[in-house]
Amino acid sequence: MMTSNLDPTTLARREAAVLSAEHALLLREHAAALLESTLRQQESVAHAQSARTTLTESQLREANERLVVATVRAQTMTEAAEGVAAQMSHMATHDFLTGLPNRVLLADRLTQAITHAQRQRKCVALMYLDLDHFKHINDSLGHAVGDQLLQAVSRRLRENVRQSDTVCRFGGDEFVVLLSEVEGAGDATLSAGKLIDALAEPYAIGEHRLHITQSIGISIYPEHGRDVETMLRQADIAMYHGKRKGRNTFQLFAPQMNVRALARQSIEVALRNALDGEGLVLHYQPKVNIASGAITGAEALVRLRQPGHALMYPSGFVHIAEDCGLIRPIGRWVLAQACRQAAAWLDDGLDLGQMAVNVSATEFHGKDFLAGVRATLHESGLDPARLEIEMTESALMQDTQPGIDVLHGLKNLGAQIALDDFGTGYSSLSYLRRFPIDTLKIDQSFVRDIGSGGDTSMLVNAIIAMGKSLRLHVVAEGIETPTQRSYLQLQGCTEGQGFYFGRPVDAAGFSALLAARHDSYPGAQAGTRCAGNPGARLT
């Protein structure tokens, strides 16, 4: 991601820079004209003196005074023009917002560092830094807060490297740090670890207390590249690799990462084609009442279909869709398709309970998200109470007012809100109270460990108890065995989801599941979170 989008502030600054340039040009022209006229006056004074013509003494004095004034003005203007020229050259090589060197200056310094290292037989390290989820902050709190955060980050970066190192802003939320003269990768990884720790401390911006982490990719001269282009590319690839492995981490470049970068590109193309054609498919997995096995809802799970390939699961493409800006159109498609499908099943008399749709943080923080959900519900005719939006804790991590407003907006529409993969993120009791959440979904990693004798069972118990005390529905994800089911039932967890009850299946498969349920219990009503409804047993 080496491109930068120009926001209105940057555009305005660019315009100001162009105006300053024009102003400087005018000043120079003016100064030149003045100098010329001064010279002419000097010539005529000289001529007058040498010719000892009939000029009176007062005329001579006046000419002299004019000469002095013109010379002083010309000097002042020349200085002003030189000042503007120096400012312009600084602007051409520095980032306006943070004052850090920009990519032009970095390329220059990296070239010098490489030449120097070549002579001294030393190494050079390049760190490509990208702030994790910075876009959410910009989207939810506005550009002014985003700008202040970027300035604060720049300061911390500068404070945590050596004077001789170069910290540069590459545009957007990307920075590059050049460590000239290092002994090897060890120095670079030490420095990267220090930067990760330094940036992870909270930032006080206005009334906000913000957290931001970063992913760092590192390339080393001469091991990974011998020129500016290659070193930047390899560090960028390593950075993406780090993001993929869980963010807030650094990653040293390795040649096999190039292969993955190519695979990434091909998935991006496949996603674009899928959005244009019919390459996205939804599968539906039943949610059930753990005690009775009755279906209480369906979770829509997206898959990517490519000619000649097996279906691809979200773990293979959702992160790429996030990075290349396709997650929002994909999310809109998923929501529309899931709502249409739920409405169609209900029209056919197949009561599925609620339809749950996963929404990523980027979608949730998009400014049209709420309006999009409202429009989709309207178009599909689905009763909003049938829709449940699933979000992970990290999507709500920043605990900001705009995010809370969207949650209330969803609630006002009549939709339900579930916290997905609960227990893996920044679980905090305070936000569980503050946010209008209906459901906690216990992450499958905890459920997997039930019966293995580890501490995680305690965690599961704690989440169930906490959910109960906050009057939330608690759904256990990833139930695969009868042991897990019995344990959860015993702990008072009412709902579950997992291969034990049913794998995700396509729309036809889920219709069959619902129809079988309908045939066995013709009078069965959904909304089966209500106690007492037997529904259809899946076990």
Q: Judged by CB under 5 A, does residue 439 bind Mg ion?
A: no
Tokens of 137: 């902050």
Q: Judged by CB under 5 A, does residue 416 bind Mg ion?
A: no
Contact residues: ligand C2E, CB under 6 A: 285, 301-302, 313-315, 318, 331, 334, 358-360, 390, 420-421, 444, 477-480, 497-499, 504
**Measured from the CB of residue 534, what is the shortest distance to ligand C2E in angstroms?**
23
Residue 503 CA, chain-centre distance (Å), reads 31
Count of residues near Mg ion by CB under 5 A:
5
**Measured from the CB of residue 237, what is the shortest distance to ligand C2E in angstroms?**
24
Q: Alpha helices, DSSP H only, in 311-414?
A: 318-323, 327-347, 361-365, 369-380, 401-413
Residues whose CB is less than 8 angstroms from the CB of residue 274 and which lie 6 or more positions away in sequence, other chains included: 280, 304, 305, 306
Q: Which of ligand C2E, Mg ion, none binds 499 (CB below 5-8 Å, type-dependent)?
A: ligand C2E
Is residue 441 a contact partner of residue 478, using CB atoms and an 8 Å limit? no
**Measured from the CB of residue 243, what is the shortest distance to ligand C2E in angstroms?**
16
**152: enclosing H helix or E strand:** helix 143-159
Q: Which of ligand C2E, Mg ion, none binds 217 (CB below 5-8 Å, type-dependent)?
A: none
Q: Alpha helices, DSSP H only, in 160-200?
A: 185-200
Tokens of 50: 């040498």
Using the minimum distance from each CB to ligand C2E, give the nearer residue, 38 or 362.
362
Q: Which of Mg ion, ligand C2E, none binds 360 (CB below 5-8 Å, type-dependent)?
A: ligand C2E
Using the minimum distance from each CB to ligand C2E, give the nearer residue, 314 or 534.
314
Q: Which of Mg ion, ligand C2E, none binds 318 (CB below 5-8 Å, type-dependent)?
A: ligand C2E
Closest C-alpha among 401, 340, 330 to residue 360: 330
d(CA 64, CA 44): 11
Using the minimum distance from each CB to ligand C2E, give the nearer residue, 284 or 345.
284
d(CA 148, CA 171): 15
Using the minimum distance from each CB to Mg ion, give the nearer residue, 215 or 439.
439
d(CA 273, CA 525): 40
Candidates 231-239, 284-292, 347-355, 385-393; binding stretch for Mg ion (CB under 5 A): 385-393
Candidates 24-32, 109-117, 414-422, 483-491; binding stretch for Mg ion (CB under 5 A): 414-422
- Taking 3-state DSSP, the helix, strand and coil percentages for the chain, each rounded to the nearest 5, stand at 55, 20, 30
d(CA 374, CA 531): 29
Amino acid at 342: A
Using the minimum distance from each CB to ligand C2E, give the nearer residue, 332 or 529.
332
d(CA 107, CA 120): 20
Using the minimum distance from each CB to Mg ion, give the nearer residue, 234 or 416.
416
**Measured from the CB of residue 137, what is the shortest distance to ligand C2E in angstroms?**
19
Q: Are strands 208-210 and 203-205 parallel, antiparallel or unpaired?
A: antiparallel
Q: Which of Mg ion, ligand C2E, none binds 301 (CB below 5-8 Å, type-dependent)?
A: ligand C2E
**Measured from the CB of residue 245, what is the shortest distance to Mg ion in angstroms?**
19
Using the minimum distance from each CB to Mg ion, give the nearer residue, 242 or 478.
478
Q: What is the CA radius of gyration of the chain?
A: 32
Long-range contacts of the stretch 521-526 (C-beta < 8 A, 24+)? 524/294, 524/351, 525/351, 526/295, 526/296, 526/351, 526/352, 526/353, 526/354
Tokens of 176: 């590059």
Is residue 219 a contact partner of residue 238, using CB atoms and an 8 Å limit? yes
Q: Which of ligand C2E, Mg ion, none binds 236 (CB below 5-8 Å, type-dependent)?
A: none
**Measured from the CB of residue 216, what is the shortest distance to ligand C2E in angstroms?**
25
Tokens of 33: 């004209």
Closest C-alpha among 188, 322, 192, 204 to residue 248: 192
Amino acid at 469: S
Q: Which of Mg ion, ligand C2E, none binds 511 (CB below 5-8 Å, type-dependent)?
A: none
d(CA 68, CA 446): 86
Q: Judged by CB under 5 A, does residue 390 bind Mg ion?
A: yes
Q: Judged by CB under 5 A, does residue 420 bind Mg ion?
A: yes
Q: Judged by CB under 5 A, does residue 130 bind Mg ion?
A: no
Q: Which of ligand C2E, Mg ion, none binds 228 (CB below 5-8 Å, type-dependent)?
A: none
Closest C-alpha among 430, 385, 439 to residue 412: 385
Per-position b or e across 445-463, b if 16+ CB within 10 A of its CB? ebbbbbeeeeebbebbbeb
Candidates 14-22, 80-88, 462-470, 475-483; binding stretch for Mg ion (CB under 5 A): 475-483
Using the minimum distance from each CB to ligand C2E, give the nearer residue, 170 or 501.
501
**Measured from the CB of residue 333, what is the shortest distance to ligand C2E in angstroms?**
9
x-or-dash string of contact with Mg ion, 349-378, rule CB under 5 A:
---------x--------------------
Q: Which of Mg ion, ligand C2E, none binds 285 (CB below 5-8 Å, type-dependent)?
A: ligand C2E
**Measured from the CB of residue 356, what is the shortest distance to Mg ion in angstroms?**
6
**Measured from the CB of residue 356, what is the shortest distance to ligand C2E in angstroms?**
8
- For binding to Mg ion (CB under 5 A), which residues are involved? 358, 390, 420-421, 477
